[in-house]
Amino acid sequence: MTVPLTPGPPAAAPADLDGYRARLRAWLESHLEPRTSKHAVSGLDPGREFTPETVTIQRRLQRSLFEAGYAGITWPAEYGGQGLDSAHERVFGEEARRFLLPDFGLAGKTSLGVCAPTMLAHASPEFLRRHIPAMLAGDEIFVEFFSEPEAGSDLAGVRTRAERDSDGRWHLNGSKIWSSGAYYADYGMCLARTDWDAPKHRGLTWFAVPTRARGVTVRRIRQITGDADFCEEFFDDVELTDDDMIGPLNGGWAVTQTMLFYERGGGAGTSGKPKKRRTAIAPDLAALAAEAGRSGDPLACDLITRAHVDDLVRDAFGTRLGALMRASPAAAASLASYGKLAAGTFEPARAALAMRIGGDAALTWTGDGGPGASAAAGLLNGRFMAIAGGTNEMQRNTISERVLGLPREPAFDTRKPFGDVLRGARTWDGRVG
């Protein structure tokens, strides 16, 4: 049974940052476990599972954070947040980094970092009052029901359908894939086609779909790392109502653009929160070189220095990009593609440098893994950001067309009814016109 939500009062007056910091520090020290080196995650831990028991523990931690007034610090108070400013959020980040905060894995990052901000921008007040406080309290975890086997880069081409019956209920049928953490989530934020006679970008609507609703099947997908965070979902006549709708009927593409902005790091890029200055030269790669017995090797030192320069460039780029996004809010969604492309470009290159530095030590290890396991995970996950949330190629398209003003790629299906597009695709002979 869910306990009624009772968030604490705002933890500080807007001008009382010193008092806020002191009260926050005291609360953290008395309620949360300090973070130590034993809590470092190698990144290659296929045994790490979010079981019902571990999720329950994290829900309790999240509720304690919420009830103390430290969840949703800058979110509207009418929806369970604290209504404070970014300075308070920055203080929280500075103090809380020394403690083990509630951790729901990728699903938690999606729930509070992508889904909730998108809802706040588009959902009805009634929807927000029903779901946002529950998300802040850890009672509801949302994931994305977004991509489909036949609609990845072309997200407007989704075929999962929602049809309204004579009683006003919606019936959802179709499938989704690559939903991180869906197996332990409570809801999926689902993009469905609600009008097949409209062009593909105009007949889409978002719904909140309970993962345990009748007709919903969630299956996990084993990844190359051994993890199974990704899931695929199947919907067989799942009943929904208008109360489950997020944003306007057939207005889902605008909601999609907001979601992509947050998914690609736009929210973090516009926060103005300063990055922690790097004081050591690529410490993870230095540790890997030591593990491999190459600390004094000139080639290894050169590669570590190259990675360090790349790290500094990426940090400086992120700071500059954040400033541009804050200065041009209307262009921020398109500018976010630069950050996403940077991640998709830098990460595989850095993973390759780690392999050259570590050699055998980056491929085999004993015990809890250490730097070798982290390097191996970096290699196996190196292409993640080049694909997830929109491929590098899609980011380049967005930058060229929406930022640089270059001509759009030819498209022959954007103005036709989507049903006609699918029918035509079955008989298309390859000729244009």
Residue 183 to residue 186: CA distance in whole angstroms: 9
Residue 294 to residue 358: CA distance in whole angstroms: 8
CB neighbour class for 189 (10 Å; exposed up to 12, middle 13-18, buried from 19): buried
Helix (H) or strand (E) holding 259: helix 252-263
Residue 216 φ/ψ, nearest 5 degrees: -100, 125
Residue 304 to residue 289: CA distance in whole angstroms: 9
Cβ 314 vs Cβ 346: under 8 Å: yes
Residue 190 to residue 145: CA distance in whole angstroms: 4
- Is position 263 annotated as part of the catalytic site? yes
CB neighbour class for 365 (10 Å; exposed up to 12, middle 13-18, buried from 19): buried
Given 140, 148, 263, 291, which residue is catalytic? 263
Q: How far is CA 282 from the centre of its chain?
A: 25
Residue 82 φ/ψ, nearest 5 degrees: -100, -15
Residue 284 to residue 378: CA distance in whole angstroms: 11
Q: Helix or strand or coil: residue 334? A: helix
Q: Strands, E, within 311-370: which ranges?
A: none
Instruction: Enumerate the active-site residues.
Output: 263
